[in-house]
Amino acid sequence: MKKGNNALKLTLFLAIVAALATGLLALVNQMTYPVIEANAGSKETQAYKDLYPDAKSIEKVEFTADAEGHVLEAYKIDDTAYAFKATGQGYSAPITFILGYNVDGSNAKFKMLQINDTPGYGMKLNETAYADEYAGKSTTDSIPAVSGATVSSDGVKAAANAVISVFNSLTGNTGGPVDEPKDDRLVLSEYTEGTIVDKKVEGNLTTFTATGEGFEGINKFDVVVNTETMRVEAITVVEFINSDDYGTSAGEQAYLDTFIGFSLKGSEVKADASSGATVDSKSLMHVLNAIAIELGADKLEPEKEPEFKTSEFTDGTATLTNEEGSLLTFEATAEGFEGDSTFKIVLNIDTKTVDSISIVEFVNSDEYGTPASEEAYLDSFKGISFASGSAGVDAASGATVDSKSIFHALNAAIELAVEKIGG
Q: Is the pLDDT of residue 189 over 80?
A: yes
Identify which has the larger pLDDT, 352 or 82.
Answer: 82
pLDDT at 208 exceeding the cut of 60: yes
Mean pLDDT in residue range 331-348: 88
pLDDT tens column, 255-285 = 788 787 788 888 777 776 665 556 667 889 8
In this predicted model, what pLDDT tens digit does every residue of 11-68 receive, in sequence order?
676 667 666 767 676 666 566 545 444 444 455 678 899 999 999 999 999 999 898 8
Q: Average pLDDT, whole number, for the chain? A: 81
Across the range 68-93, mean pLDDT stands at: 91
The residues, any chain, with a CB within 8 Å of residue 177's CB and separated by 6 or more, are 139, 140, 141, 142, 143, 160, 161, 164
DSSP 273-314: PPTT-HHHHHHHHHHHHHHHHHHTGGGSPPPPPPSEEGGG--
Per-residue pLDDT averaged across 205-216, rounded?
A: 90
323 confidence band (pLDDT: 50, 70, 90) = very high
Measured CA to CA in angstroms, residue 45 lies from 61, 84, 102, 114, 200 at distances of: 13, 11, 17, 16, 65
State residue 163's pLDDT score.
Answer: 95
Query: In this structure, what DSSP letter does residue 244 have?
Result: S
Instruction: Give per-residue pLDDT as tens, 145-185.
Output: 876 566 788 889 999 999 999 999 999 988 776 554 455 67
Q: DSSP 3-state assignment of 249? A: helix
pLDDT tops 50 at residue 96: yes
Q: What is the mean pLDDT of residues 218-247?
A: 83
Q: Alpha helices, DSSP H only, in 346-399? A: 375-379
Please check whether residue 318 is in contact with residue 416, taking contact to mean a CB–CB distance below 8 angstroms.
Answer: yes
Which residues 6+ apart lie within 8 Å of 142 measured at CB? 177, 178, 179, 180
Which residues on adjacent β-strands are paired with residue 100? 83, 109
Closest CA to 367 of 331, 398, 404: 398
Least confident of 62-76, 265-279, 388-402: 388-402
For the segment 180-198, the average pLDDT, to the nearest whole number, is 78
Q: What is residue 377's three-state secondary structure?
A: helix
Dmax (CA) for the chain in angstroms is 132
Considering the entire predicted model, what is its pTM?
A: 0.45
8 Å CB contact between 108 and 100: yes
